[in-house]
Structure 1
Amino acid sequence: MAIVDTGDVRLHVQRLAARPAAARPADGTAATPLGDGAAAQDATVVLLHGLLTDSLASYYFTVAPALAAAGLDVVMYDHRGHGRSGRPERGYTLGAFVHDLDALLDRLDIQNPVHLVGNSFGGTVAFGYALLRPERVAGMVVIESEPATPSWAVKLGGLLERVRHEMSVNEDAALDWIAAHHGGHTARLAKSAGRLVRDTTLARDIPASAVLGDDDVRAIRCPVLALYGADSDLAAQAPRIRSLLPHCATESLPGHQHSVLVEAPGRVRDLVLDWVGRHASPAGDRDAVRVR
């Protein structure tokens, strides 16, 4: 575990170094290794988790070890306000999360363009970062996610307001219901999320964040793979996101809704490794990306 001070917030970071080829299991328990090219061996993947009840643990206990075993340098961290990172009272616009990522890459002295993997809100952060720092992003995999459009802001605002209201009016009853239907661990996560919404400006800041128009989304030039649970309401966005992003592929996972990362980690791992392996060459030859 490491705590990295960005100058604005202290971020809890976990880094899994790429395992050398000789140390990787050969019995099928690990994902297929990346190619042996220098670009693939130098690839860094940054894992961005979702909002409120999420943390880097969702990656640590699913795909992160396998990605490192396959030859990737893996960086994951808790967003501000989440997990073991600092929880300032103010400063939770989407732009703040995007700048946290930029500052973290600086502090870790990561020079080469990185591959971003973003789950839910983490994918929205990835979209924002690819627009802010295109030269630092080699490619993205976004899981059950979308760019920060005006409709996204309205949706997040409604969700956060419901959480704030329920946890402020009758927190004990809400937590009892969550524990009964989803277990004690989820209830503990919900309690922490409730404090984050109640005690900080997050519920106001995120809906008030700067949003992207269609032209902004079209300006994202890196290759993007968008993964959706086939039974999720976000799956309907696949045709539109392919039409806006110049180099985008989408994949629908049957039988899954929003919790694709946790429910199908093996499939997510394989798709991430395939995508990174095919786009591990230095940024620049974007027209060679095959879109489907």
Structure 2
Amino acid sequence: MSKTPTESAFKMIQARGLTFRVLDQGEGIPLLLLHGFPDSLDVWQAMTPTLLAAGFRVIAYDQRGYGETDAPVDSASYRIDEIVADAPAILDALGIQQPVCLLGHDWGSAIAWALALQHPERVQALVAVSVGHPKSYGRAGLKQKLGKGLYVLWFQLRSLCEWYLLRAGGLRRWLGKTEHGDRALQQMSRPGRLTAALNWYRENLRKAVFGEWGQVHCPTLGVWSSEDAYLTEEQMLDSGNFVTSAWHYQRIEGCGHWIQLEQPEQLAQLAVRWFREYASQPTDTALPSEAG
């Protein structure tokens, strides 16, 4: 089995009236990766070899509006329930009916929490990176809402926000002149793509803050990094109050928001250990004893 993604691992899949770009490679327990803003499935590239070497079937996809996946024009297509419903539809298209291991970052973490809430039969263990349980995020204090999260309100300003981020260079200054920033800027510069990504924030702000969210019943690992500029530690720590199964919190020191880019091996190993402890094979095939 190749320990790096190959071209044949990428495919275009039809689901729920949209075409999704999907990575599907490896064997063993399915591990679904969900990216956030302003990324694509490529944000997992540095982690994927470790996950494959550890014996997982790694699945990731460009979420609606991102990467090479379709971007519906209507704003309502980006309501959280619509986004969440994509995951089981894609798993069905891949013939995966067993519960998966689930790892999400940023908006992908929010969708992962919601997927575990709405479709508990599809998730056997969760690793939530950066963003905590929706109820925990919603009741986070002013430090989160007006300190680190004020940009969410700025994103509500249609057209003006798009102009600033693209025409006035706001997105470039925000992401910096890095390979990650270059790739995100290129993708967001395509017609309609930045608006599609911002619609995630515009359609879901009220529900994220004021919505009714239940408890998650699968084993959950929460991961937060000390230099995260957008999210407080408290909103992740508080998430344990909304998990009825095993819960553990892991803080990563000296790392910014994109942990999978800055510390990919550490995050991958944390995920591997968590999933090995709490996920089970559908067959008698045993996981390897060591990752890498």
Please say whether Structure 1 and Structure 2 have the same fold, judged by a TM-score greater than 0.5: yes
Is residue 55 of structure 2 the alignment partner of residue 58 of structure 1?
no
Counterparts in 2 of 1:269 and 1:198: CA distance versus 1, 3 Å: closer
Shift of residue 253, structure 1, vs aligned partner? 0.5
Size of the alignment, in residue pairs? 256
Alpha carbons 2:35, 2:43 under 8 Å: kept: yes
Stretch moving more, 141-150 or 253-262: 141-150
Q: Which residue of 2 aligns with 1:231?
A: 227
TM-score (ref. length: structure 2): 0.77
Counterparts in 2 of 1:127 and 1:280: CA distance versus 1, 3 Å: same
Q: Structure 1: which 5+ runs fail to align?
A: 19-41, 284-292
Between the aligned partners of 1:191 and 1:151, the Cα distance in structure 2 is 35
Shift of residue 12, structure 1, vs aligned partner? 0.5
The AA in structure 1 aligned to 2:68 is R
Between the aligned partners of 1:83 and 1:277, the Cα distance in structure 2 is 30
Q: Structure 2: which 5+ runs fail to align?
A: 1-9, 283-292
Shift of residue 68, structure 1, vs aligned partner? 1.0
Is residue 245 of structure 2 the alignment partner of residue 259 of structure 1?
no
Is residue 227 of structure 2 the alignment partner of residue 196 of structure 1?
no
Between the aligned partners of 2:43 and 2:175, the Cα distance in structure 1 is 22
Q: Which residue of 1 aligns with 2:243?
A: 245
Is residue 23 of structure 2 the alignment partner of residue 14 of structure 1?
yes
TM-score (ref. length: structure 1): 0.77
Alpha carbons 1:138, 1:282 under 8 Å: kept: no
Between the aligned partners of 1:104 and 1:11, the Cα distance in structure 2 is 8
Alignment of 1:13-92 (within 5 A): 13-18=22-27, 42-51=28-37, 53-59=38-44, 61-90=45-74, 91-92=77-78
Shift of residue 212, structure 1, vs aligned partner? 7.1
